[in-house]
Amino acid sequence: MLSKRVIACLDVRDGRLAKSVRFVDTRDIGDPVEKAREYYLDGLDELVFYDITASSDRRRIMLDVVEAVAAQVFIPLSVGGGVRSVADATDLRLAGAEKINVNSAAVARPALIAECADAIGNQNVVLSMDVRSVEPSTTCPSGYEIVINGGRRPMGIDAIAWALEGERLGAGELVVNSIDADGTREGYAIDLTARVAEAVRIPVIASGGAGLPEHLYEVLTAGKADAALVASMVHYGDYRISGLKSYLHERGLKMRMSW
Amino acid sequence: MAIIIDYDAGNLRSVQRACREVGLEAAITADPDAVRRADRIIFPGVGAAGPAMRSIAARGIDAALREAIARGVPTLGICLGMQISLDYSEENDTTTLGLIPGRVRRFRFESRALKIPHMGWNEVRVTRPHPLLADVRPGDEFYFVHGYYPEPARPEEVFAVSDYEIEFASALGRDNYFGMQCHPEKSGRVGLSVLARFAEWNGTC
């Protein structure tokens, strides 16, 4: 059977590593290539780079980072942030990304998901959704709403409906990022993750809120996630990838334990 | 010269990079003459069997590959590149190369708990020793992404199996041909070990 995956997310701004807390203030925490290599050697199952560069020459910088990482990290590498077209996706793939994450641009123009799926294969298209909880309404009956632009812009789209639409359009995997939980280190949004995972048949990656090893256990069991995304809890050295995996393994989850 | 066959079947540079990591320089090529001249061939690929076979036929790669394999050139098939070495694939109802007797079937599950494609890390259990799997230990996992799986007709051509509700062949081969369903280029140290062994393989097993 498949192992549960631990995925590290590295936010990259201007070629350097940054970690956002509730999507505001970011601070530089190092060289993404070095960090990626360190995690790879420590048993990481998959790596996600998220480009949060604002500058206009962003794409070249990011392609260089991806290229450098792909030359020394031999696990699946997923890249997102600002992917607006098949050309963006193809460039990142040639630089060495396995999977491409689409987010805001897919909300604005859902056909982007299908176009990318046709060009690079469903299994390589990851739909990343930023979600906040709201009062259930006719537009958002689940009580979860899609937001874009780093959480600043509510879209009036129900998160469960969007997950199903993304699957229908050809996304091979979903990242469910709770902006309520993001950066808090108080635990993943369990109910949200479980509801998305129950609605779709593609793998779900839980994101936002990891602070303790038990948070990963919770979201991989009660939250029904296939993979747990971690960021600040490993970036600042509080926990190691290998330590998290050993903990989950000891609690009975199937994990990849030799690397 | 080692080559990686390019037939519009996905991104081949990750295979090339992983080969480089283990000291194997391999050129990416779609030229059938380069396939004929190669002394080591990697036949990778993701995508669908139908378009892949059409692309191979249109470029004349099928004949060149058959000749090379018949001549004893060490050849490694990966994922779709392995699947089309069998006789037939249910994917697009495709007649494939027929290098290894058997067929490729689609995963069919009643249970909603099992997702298709089979994507992620799973154990590859060696069932028959093979030089390319010499460094694979019990419990070692590889990275998989596939919705179809190979079903070789001859048990003696299966070298490793994996479980995804059913048990399927995750490594198969005969003589100088070896194929894996998983992606050694994305499978960390153990995956690189297969490529390192391939770089030095003389084509016997």
In the block, tokens 């490694």 appear at B76
Determine, for residues A98 and B186 on separate chains, whether the beta-carbon distance falls below 8 Å: yes
A140-149, A156-165, B9-18, range with the lowest pLDDT: B9-18
| A167 contact partners, CB below 8 Å, separation of at least 6 | A174, A200, A201, A202
Percentage of chain B exceeding pLDDT 70? 99
Q: Given this model, what pLDDT does residue B70 score?
A: 95
Q: pLDDT digit string (tens) for A60-81?
A: 888 999 999 999 999 999 999 8
Helical axes A213-221 vs A190-199, angle rounded to 10° = 30
Q: What is the ipTM of this complex?
A: 0.93
Query: Quick check: B137 contacting A, CB < 8 Å?
Result: yes
In this prediction, residue A23 carries a pLDDT of 46
Q: Is B72 part of the contact surface with chain A (CB cutoff 8 Å)? A: no
CATH number of the domain to which B130 belongs = 3.40.50.880
Tell me which chain A residue has its CA closest to the CA of residue B161.
Answer: A1
Model confidence at A21: pLDDT above 90: no
- Determine phi and psi for B18, rounding to 5 degrees: -65, -35
CB B152 within 8 A of CB B160: no
Q: What is the pLDDT of residues A111-126, one digit of tens each?
A: 999 999 988 888 899 9
B20, B116, B143: residue with CB nearest A76 = B143
Of chain A, the percentage scoring pLDDT greater than 70 comes to 94
Our CA-based measurement puts residue A5 at a distance from the nearest CA of chain B, in whole angstroms, of: 8
More confident residue, A220 or A21: A220
In order of A37, A193, A253, B81, B88, the CA distances from A218 in angstroms are: 27, 11, 11, 39, 43
The one catalytic residue in A11, A45, A91, A226 is A11
Question: What is the CATH number assigned to the segment(s) A5-250?
Answer: 3.20.20.70
Task: Report the mean per-residue pLDDT for chain B.
Answer: 94
- Please report the sign of the dihedral spanned by the C-alpha atoms of residue B152, residue B153, residue B154, residue B155: positive
- State the CB neighbour count (10 A cutoff) for residue A94: 15
A76–B112: do the CB atoms touch at under 8 Å?
no
Mean pLDDT value across chain A: 91
Q: What is the DSSP letter of B6?
A: -
Select from B141, B161, B185 the residue whose CB has the most chain A CBs within 10 Å, as the one to mutate to test that interface. B141
Q: Contact, A65 vs A85, CB < 8 A?
A: no
Q: How is residue B96 written in tokens?
A: 């494939």
CB-closest option in B13, B18, B46 to A121: B46
Catalytic residue status for B146: no
**Scanning every residue of chain B, which has its alpha carbon at the shortest distance from the alpha carbon of A224?**
B113
Phi, psi for residue B31 in degrees, rounded to 5: -90, 120
Is residue B94 assigned to a domain? yes
| Cα distance between residue A6 and residue A226, in whole Å | 9
DSSP annotation of A3 reads P
Q: Tell whether B116 lies on the interface with A, counting CB pairs under 8 A.
A: yes
To the nearest whole Å, the CA of B167 is away from the closest chain A CA by 10
What is the signed CA dihedral for A14, A15, A18, A20, rounded to 10 degrees?
Answer: 50
A46 pairs with which residues across the strands?
Answer: A7
Is the CB of B115 less than 8 angstroms away from the CB of A96? no
Q: Other C-beta atoms within 10 Å of B113: how many?
A: 9
CA A250 to CA A2: how far, in whole Å?
17
Question: Using CB atoms, which residue from B119, B122, B185 is nearest to A74?
Answer: B185
The label of the residue with tokens 């396939």 reads B35
The one catalytic residue in B19, B21, B79, B110 is: B79
The pLDDT of residue A14: 81
Q: Which of A256, A254, A253, A252 is nearest to A241 (CA)?
A: A256
Comparing CB atoms, the residue among A72, A227, A257 nearest residue B139 is: A257
Question: Residue B10 is nearest to which of A71, A121, A257, comparing CB atoms?
Answer: A121
Candidates A129, A131, A132, A87; CA nearest to A112 is A87
Distance CA(B180)–CA(A63), nearest Å, equals 30
Contacts of A6 in chain B (CB under 8 A): none
Taking residues B82-108, what's their average pLDDT?
95
- Whether pLDDT at B107 is above 50: yes
What's residue A25's pLDDT? 52
Crossing angle between the packed helical segments A58-70 and B13-21, to the nearest 10 degrees: 50
Q: What is the mean pLDDT of residues B109-138?
A: 91
Contact at 8 Å (CB) between B170 and B181?
A: yes
Q: What is the distance between the alpha carbons of residues B4 and B25, in angstroms, rounded to a whole number? A: 10
Q: What is the pLDDT of residue A151?
A: 77
- Output the six-digit token pair for A51: 């480009």
Residue B205 inside a domain? The answer is no
Q: Is A3 on the interface with B (CB under 8 A)?
A: yes
Q: pLDDT tens across B10-69, in order? A: 678 899 999 999 999 999 999 999 999 999 999 998 778 998 999 999 999 999 999 999
Give me the DSSP letters along B61-110.
HHHHHHHHHHTT--EEEETHHHHTTSSEETGGGEE---SSSEEEEE---S
Predicted local confidence at residue B110, as pLDDT: 73
**CB proximity list for A21: less than 8 A, separation 6 or greater:** A182, A183, A232
Q: How far apart are the first and last CA of chain B?
A: 22
The shortest C-alpha distance from A215 to chain B (Å) reads 21
The radius of gyration of chain B from alpha carbons, rounded to an integer in Å, stands at 15
What confidence tens digit (pLDDT) does each residue in B126-152 have? 999 999 999 999 999 999 999 999 999
Instruction: Tell me how far apart the alpha carbons of residues B23 and A125 are, in angstroms, rounded to a whole number.
Output: 31
Partner A contacted by B17 (CB < 8 A): yes
Beta carbons of B121 and A2 less than 8 Å apart: yes
Please indicate whether residue A158 is annotated as part of the active site. Answer: no
Whether B190 and A259 lie within 8 Å, measured CB to CB: yes
Asked if residue A231 has pLDDT above 80, the reply is yes
Q: How many domains does chain B have?
A: 1
Distance of alpha carbon B150 from alpha carbon B61, whole angstroms: 22
B145, B190, B192: best to mutate for the A interface, most A CBs within 10 A: B145
Residue A52: predicted pLDDT: 84
Domain limits for position B40: 2-200
